[in-house]
Copies of this chain bind each other. A is one copy, B any other.
Amino acid sequence: MVQIEIDPAVVEERIMTLGAIGACHDTGVCRAALTPEWIDAQALVEQWCKQIGLTTRMDAVANLWGRLEGTEGGMVIASGSHIDSQLPGGRYDGALGIIAAITAVEALKRQFGAPKRPLEIVSFCEEEGSRFNGARFWGSRGISGAIAEGDAEAISSYDGTTLAEAMRDIGLDPARFADAVRHDIEAFIELHIEQGPVLELEDLPVGVVNIINGSKGYNVRVVGETNHAGARPMDTRRDALVGVAEMVLAINQNALTMGRPAVSTVGRLNVDPNLGPAVPGKVDFTIDCRHNDAAKLEELSSAHEQAITRIAEKRDLEISWTSRPPLAPCPCDPEIVRVLEESAKSQNIPSLTMPSGALHDTQRISEVARVAMVFVRSKDGRSHTPEEFTSIEDAVAGIRVLAGALHALAY
Contacts and interface: CB of A to CB of B under 8 A. Distances in A.
Contact of A255 (B234, B241, B262): B234
Given A242-B248, A381-B236, A230 B290 contact: yes
A357 B279 CA distance: 13
Given A266-B241, A358-B228, A234 B248 contact: no
Interface stretch (A50-58, A107-115, A173-181, A269-277): A269-277
A275 B89 CA distance: 13
A115 B233 CA distance: 40
A384 interface: yes
B246 A197 contact: no
Nearest to A261: B233
Residue with the highest number of chain B CB atoms closer than 10 Å, among A246, A260, A378, A381: A381
Given A249-B246, A269-B269, A232 B381 contact: yes
- With a 10 A CB-CB cut-off, give which of A201, A256, A266, A277 has the most chain B CB atoms: A277
A227 B274 contact: no
A268 to B, nearest CB: 5
Contacts of A256: 234-235
Interface string A247-286: 0110010011000111111111111001111111000001
A301 interface: no
Nearest to A197: B236
A114 B81 CA distance: 87
A198 B130 CA distance: 49
A213 B233 CA distance: 12
Given A245-B246, A276-B288, A233 B197 contact: yes
Interface in A187-237: 194-198, 201, 213, 215, 217, 225-236
Given A267-B229, A381-B231, A384-B278, A249 B252 contact: no
A275 B267 contact: yes
Contact of A227 (B233, B255, B280, B382): B382
Interface string A341-383: 0000000000000001111000000000000000000100111
A7 to B, nearest CB: 29
Number of identical monomers bound together in the oligomeric complex: 2
A382 B236 CA distance: 12
A162 interface: no
Given A234-B256, A241-B248, A246-B249, A263 B357 contact: no
Contact of A196 (B233, B280, B383): B233
A239 interface: yes
A385 interface: yes
Contacts of A266: 241-242, 280
Nearest to A382: B227
Contact of A232 (B239, B244, B274, B357): B357
Contacts of A275: 267-268
Which 4 A-B pairs rank lowest in CB-CB distance, beginning with the nearest? A196-B231, A231-B357, A229-B265, A245-B248
Interface of A: 194-198, 201, 213, 215, 217, 225-236, 239, 241-242, 244-246, 248-249, 252, 255-256, 260-271, 274-280, 286, 288, 290, 356-359, 378, 381-385
Given A197-B236, A230-B288, 20 more contacts: A195-B230, A197-B233, A215-B230, A229-B290, A230-B356, A231-B356, A231-B357, A231-B358, A232-B357, A232-B381, A233-B261, A234-B252, A234-B262, A239-B252, A241-B248, A249-B249, A265-B278, A267-B276, A268-B274, A268-B275
